[in-house]
Amino acid sequence: MNPNCDFKDGDDVLVSSSHGKANFIVKLNEDIKNDCVVAYAGNKYANYVTPHKSDEQAFSAIFQDVLVSIELS
């Protein structure tokens, strides 16, 4: 997350979407846009807050946008 957010490095947060919820540890980085969260490929907990969609040709993971809410856990 961007350092301009209301969270600190190392905070334990609950990320929720219409698809589910999961706990994460905050890592701040100025390269991330304000009001955005980045979950890298291989993050197994991101699957709980994102829909199951795949690339139609390769049937692999795709880039996607999901609206989430974040709160301290």
pLDDT tens for 44-73 read 888 888 777 666 666 666 667 889 999 999
**Closest to 28 (Cα-Cα) out of 5, 62, 55, 56:** 5
What residues pair up with 53 in beta bridges, in sequence order?
none
Residue 24 confidence (pLDDT): 94
Yes or no: say if 37 and 68 are a contact pair by the CB < 8 Å rule.
yes
**pLDDT of 7 above 80:** yes
Burial grade of 64 (CB within 10 A; 0-12, 13-18, 19 or more) = exposed
